[in-house]
Amino acid sequence: MRLSLANDGLPTWSGEVLAVGLFKDQPATELEGRWPGLSNTLNREQFSGKPGQQLVVNLLEGSGPQRLVVLGLGDAAAFNLDGVRRAAAAAAKAAGVCNGLLGLQLNWEGLEPTAAAAAAAEAVRLSLYTDQRFRKSPEPTQHPAGLELIGLPPQAASGFDRVNADCAGVELARQLVAAPPNVVTPAALAQTAAEIAESYGLELTVLERADCEARGMGAFLAVSQGSDLDPKLIHLVYRAEGEVKRRLALVGKGLTFDSGGYNLKVGGAQIDMMKFDMGGSASVFGAMRAIAERKPAGVEVHMIVASCENMINGSAVHPGDIVSAADGTTIEINNTDAEGRLTLADALLYACEQKPDAVVDVATLTGAIVVALGSEMAGLWSNDDALAESLDRAAEAGGEGLWRMPLRRSYKDGLKSKLADFKNTGPRPGGSITAALFLEHFVSQGTAWAHVDIAGTVWSDKGQGINPAGATGYGVRTLVNWVCNPA
């Protein structure tokens, strides 16, 4: 989809579908000027500009737009980039089978023009995403050939620069998450990494089972041992040309299927959805793809994914097994379904070996975070306030909900084992917090670390805002903003 600023204003704009936003109780003066009588139509339909309100008028005359979409933007004082995203997504959906130009005019005043242009363009593209890969006969999708934003100043156009790279990253993440577990396997993730490395000239290392054994990654390997598929530890590196001032690591949970193991997921535990348990790795893959395309200066980014399946066979972990992670920490696996933290323990140890200034892990780690924060906010834990704040800003700028949670030290007592250094599971209350505390143990002293639990945000059953129903690609925009726009 081509992205541009319209040369024409609303009185003369002549693409296929025109979408115009109005604040609550804002008179439709400009629209009335072009289409006399339109104000009456709006009144008759009781259009008042409430947020989410929408009126579609099919204009059947020969010249000018064939369809007009009027969107309610709500209170002027509360209008922000999220309002832009919601309105742009609504416009895109209301455009229907438009395959020409979609024009969008919102009340841009008061918004930073480049950020507003980027938010609108992203929202249009991401809300029109469809996935026909698994159909015998894919339905042809008709999207607008171009998006023109009306009424923004010329400097806003630079906001478009990053949109295609970022959206391609989000779409890659969505595709990886939505693909079934017989397609996205640990080997398929390694293959995806190889494709990114090849396309953008990144450095790739894949550790096979024997390599992981040699490194003593007993926690990761324990999770994989009940599966017929080989585990893969995937390490992809982006290095800016010239001087590197920040070394960052992005670690993603990469369970391509989580049956729970012998603590099998039963009764409402959504076993049939556990293909999405590689959502954290999808976020870091999508982010790496976008970063590789955008080529930010001064930064080195290590992506690390310890990928496997959590399955059951005669070699699978027994509940009660004691294993040791690569640093020698021993773990009593009192619940085989708390497998993500075992894989992440070895992945975080490996990440810290790269001597990063900061490590961020992203994981569909706990059902408890779904209960705590629902589907619009991920949980954030960090041992470093500056890192937490910069991630918070990155999430805010990307329109992704993120909420900081506490590393309540005393809860770590819940992980005490009679025999080993730790159990992998504490009591049910505060389950997302003990999971975060478990991970923190494997981060080198003095390394800034953050953990993002995306179990609630990885998937949207009904779809909302810019997310069609299904995989959301959550996390990509936050990570990319964090890497590319240090604040």
Residue numbers at the binding site for ligand BES (CB under 6 A):
258, 270, 277, 335, 337-340, 364-368, 370, 425, 431, 455
Cβ–Cβ < 8 Å for 351, 251: yes
| Residue 340 binds Zn ion, judged by CB under 5 A | yes
Would you state the structure tokens that stand for residue 132, as one six-digit string?
A: 């026909």
Q: Using CB distances below 5 to 8 A depending on partner kind, what does residue 179 bind out of Mn ion, ligand BES, Zn ion, none?
A: none
User: Closest separation between CB of residue 337 and Mn ion, Å?
Assistant: 4
| Residue 309 binds Mn ion, judged by CB under 5 A | no
First to last CA, the chain: 30
Q: Using CB distances below 5 to 8 A depending on partner kind, what does residue 122 bind out of Zn ion, ligand BES, Mn ion, none?
A: none
User: Closest separation between CB of residue 476 and Zn ion, Å?
Assistant: 20
- The residue range among 102-110, 228-236, 319-327, 329-337 that interacts with Mn ion, by the rule CB under 5 A, is 329-337
CA distance 11 to 29: 11
Closer Cβ to ligand BES, 77 or 266, answer by number: 266
Helix axes 113-127, 163-178, angle to 10 degrees: 30
Q: Which residues pair with 149 in a beta bridge?
A: 5, 104
Closer Cβ to ligand BES, 22 or 368, answer by number: 368
User: Closest separation between CB of residue 463 and ligand BES, Å?
Assistant: 18
Would you state the structure tokens that stand for residue 12, as one six-digit string?
A: 């003369």
User: Closest separation between CB of residue 92 and ligand BES, Å?
Assistant: 29
Closer Cβ to Mn ion, 114 or 307, answer by number: 307
Order of strands, edge to edge, in the sheet holding 17-23? Answer: 2-5, 146-149, 101-105, 17-23, 67-74, 54-58
User: Closest separation between CB of residue 229 and ligand BES, Å?
Assistant: 17
Closer Cβ to ligand BES, 166 or 339, answer by number: 339
- The residue range among 79-87, 338-346, 396-404, 428-436 that interacts with Mn ion, by the rule CB under 5 A, is 338-346
Active site residue ranges? 265, 341
Closer Cβ to ligand BES, 359 or 370, answer by number: 370
| Residue 337 binds Mn ion, judged by CB under 5 A | yes
Q: Phi/psi at 46 (nearest 5 deg)? A: 55, 40
Q: Which residues pair with 403 in a beta bridge?
A: 379
Count Cβ atoms within 10 A of the Cβ of residue 84 and give its class: 0-12 exposed, 13-18 middle, 19 or more buried.
buried
| Residue 453 binds Mn ion, judged by CB under 5 A | no
CA distance 75 to 24: 5
Q: Using CB distances below 5 to 8 A depending on partner kind, what does residue 455 bind out of Zn ion, ligand BES, Mn ion, none?
A: ligand BES
Would you state the structure tokens that stand for residue 411, as one six-digit string?
A: 């809860």
Cβ–Cβ < 8 Å for 290, 480: yes
* Residue written as token pair 């080993």: 420
User: Closest separation between CB of residue 88 and Zn ion, Å?
Assistant: 34
CA distance 364 to 188: 19
Closer Cβ to Zn ion, 340 or 430, answer by number: 340
Question: What are the b/e assignments for 335-346, b being 16+ CB within 10 Å?
Answer: bbbbbbbbbbbb
Residue type, 250: L
CA distance 254 to 233: 9
| DSSP-derived secondary structure letter, 420 | S
Query: Of all helices (H) and strands (E), which one includes residue 423?
Result: strand 422-423
- The residue range among 88-96, 175-183, 337-345, 413-421 that interacts with Mn ion, by the rule CB under 5 A, is 337-345
Residue nearest to Zn ion (CB): 258
Closer Cβ to ligand BES, 65 or 340, answer by number: 340
Closer Cβ to Zn ion, 67 or 253, answer by number: 253
Q: Phi/psi at 334 (nearest 5 deg)? A: -80, -10
Nearest-CA neighbor of 101 among 67, 73, 130?
67
User: Closest separation between CB of residue 367 and Mn ion, Å?
Assistant: 9
- The residue range among 47-55, 251-259, 315-323, 352-360 that interacts with Mn ion, by the rule CB under 5 A, is 251-259
What 3-state class would DSSP assign to 390? helix
Q: Which of 122, 171, 258, 346: binder of Zn ion (CB under 5 A)?
A: 258
**One symbol per residue from 292 to 331: x for binding Zn ion (CB under 5 A), - otherwise; what is it?**
----------------------------------------
User: Closest separation between CB of residue 160 and ligand BES, Å?
Assistant: 35
**One symbol per residue from 264 to 283: x for binding Zn ion (CB under 5 A), - otherwise; what is it?**
-------------x------
Q: Give residues in contact with Zn ion (CB under 5 A).
A: 255, 258, 277, 340
Q: Give residues in contact with Mn ion (CB under 5 A).
A: 258, 337, 339
